[in-house]
């Protein structure tokens, strides 16, 4: 009888010990799970904070990849595009003489994103093409540090086949010839300019807008940026079509408003194709346009259809 009691007590004690051990194990598992959850939450918070800091951090130079590799020293005909004395003459022509002409015809304004001023060296400036006021407005609106050597592609068969037109666009816009109609005489000029440290202006719609609505972008500008490894500065011209639609030789009376909006520079993502990058650039330019449409035009232009 006594032995049975001792055995029962031992079994009871063992059961309590087992239950206690089970509770301790469960508590340890719960504690470990909470610690793991806290660690995951902390890691996610740190990652989110790092991503936010990365987006907000001032970038010393968004053309760092091309700067790291360096660019070619321009030679021959390319040397004029990075000529300092030519840029000094261009400053006077653009920002003193021509600026007065532009101000007499339109009411210009510019909005420049902070990071645009951090770009050094070559880049591709991509803009919608509203009218003949676009290139002058961009040249006058971009900060001089970035605009100093900016080169604009113009139709070779029109601007470069007559001496006075060639003289004007070269000295005023640091222009380079672009082939039309299947000719490849000047093929590779834009890429060579970028590799020589000369930023270029591209209108990827392929021509001026006929109805004031933005067309799809051709991927050439995006492909250039990817191939040379330089950033793209997106720009939206708002009011250019309303001021000087296709067919007019001079802006409409009343000094209509025209604003150029420069967005934060963009760099192609790893593995991003030229078509994908071009689509992303197009969306950014359209957003810049839509964001400033009402402010510039007050909804009075483009009929009832609204922003392009």
> What whole-number distance in Å separates Cα of residue 98 and Cα of residue 104?
10
Q: Is 80 exceeded by the pLDDT of residue 10?
A: no
Helix (H, G, I), strand (E, B) or coil at 148: coil
Q: In degrees rounded to 5, what are phi and psi of residue 291?
A: -65, -25
pLDDT tens for each residue of 168-211:
999 999 999 887 765 566 678 899 999 999 999 999 987 777 87
Q: What pLDDT, on a 0 to 100 scale, did the predictor assign at position 207? A: 77
Whats the size of the chain, residue-wise? 308
- The CA-based angle 88-94-97, given to 5 degrees, is 105
Please tell me the least confidently modeled range out of 59-73, 212-226, 250-264, 284-298.
59-73
Confidence of residue 304 (pLDDT cuts 50, 70, 90): very low
Residues 6+ apart with CB under 8 A from 210: 246
Domains of the chain by residue range: 1-57, 64-297
Nearest residue to 63 (alpha-carbon basis) of 229, 216, 183 = 229
Q: What pLDDT, on a 0 to 100 scale, did the predictor assign at position 282? A: 97
Confidence of residue 157 (pLDDT cuts 50, 70, 90): confident
Q: Cβ(62)–Cβ(267) under 8 Å?
A: yes
Q: Is 50 exceeded by the pLDDT of residue 58?
A: no
> What whole-number distance in Å separates Cα of residue 176 and Cα of residue 208?
18
Q: Cβ(268)–Cβ(230) under 8 Å?
A: no
Q: What pLDDT, on a 0 to 100 scale, did the predictor assign at position 66? A: 41
Domain 64-297: which CATH class? alpha beta
Confidence of residue 117 (pLDDT cuts 50, 70, 90): very high
Take residue 130 and report the two structure tokens written for it: 């509203």
Take residue 279 and report the two structure tokens written for it: 């689509």
Average confidence score pLDDT of the chain: 82
Nearest residue to 267 (alpha-carbon basis) of 140, 126, 76 = 126
Please tell me the least confidently modeled range out of 57-66, 69-78, 275-284.
57-66
| Mean pLDDT calculated for residue range 101-108 | 93
Continuous H helices in 174-252: 189-195, 220-228, 240-243
pLDDT tens for each residue of 210-267:
878 899 999 999 999 999 999 999 999 999 999 998 888 899 999 999 999 999 999 9
Q: What pLDDT, on a 0 to 100 scale, did the predictor assign at position 15? A: 66
């Amino acid at each position: 009888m006594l032995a049975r009691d001792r055995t029962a007590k031992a079994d009871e004690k063992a059961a309590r010990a087992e239950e206690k051990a089970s509770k301790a194990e469960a508590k340890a598992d719960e504690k470990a799970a909470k610690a793991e959850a806290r660690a995951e939450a902390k890691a996610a918070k740190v990652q989110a904070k790092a991503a936010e800091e990365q987006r907000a951090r001032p970038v010393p130079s968004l053309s760092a990849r091309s700067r790291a590799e360096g660019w070619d020293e321009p030679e021959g005909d390319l040397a004029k595009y990075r000529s300092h004395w030519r840029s000094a003459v261009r400053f006077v022509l653009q920002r003193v003489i021509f600026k007065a002409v532009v101000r007499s015809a339109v009411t210009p304004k510019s909005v420049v994103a902070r990071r645009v001023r951090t770009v050094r060296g070559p880049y591709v400036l991509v803009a919608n093409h509203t009218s003949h006021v676009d290139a002058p407005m961009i040249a006058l609106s971009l900060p001089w540090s970035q605009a100093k050597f900016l080169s604009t592609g113009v139709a070779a068969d029109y601007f470069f086949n007559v001496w006075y037109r060639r003289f004007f666009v070269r000295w005023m816009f640091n222009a380079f010839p672009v082939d039309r109609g299947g000719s490849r005489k000047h093929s590779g000029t834009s890429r060579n300019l970028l590799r020589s440290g000369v930023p270029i202006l591209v209108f990827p719609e392929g021509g001026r807008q006929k109805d004031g609505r933005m067309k799809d972008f051709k991927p050439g500008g995006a492909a250039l940026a990817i191939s040379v490894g330089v950033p793209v500065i997106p720009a939206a011209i708002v009011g250019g079509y309303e001021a000087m639609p296709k067919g007019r030789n001079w802006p409409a009376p009343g000094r209509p408003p025209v604003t150029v909006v420069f967005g934060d520079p963009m760099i192609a993502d790893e593995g991003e194709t030229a078509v994908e990058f071009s689509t992303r650039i197009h969306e950014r330019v359209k957003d810049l346009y839509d964001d400033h449409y009402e402010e510039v035009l007050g909804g009075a232009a483009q009929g009832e259809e609204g922003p392009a």
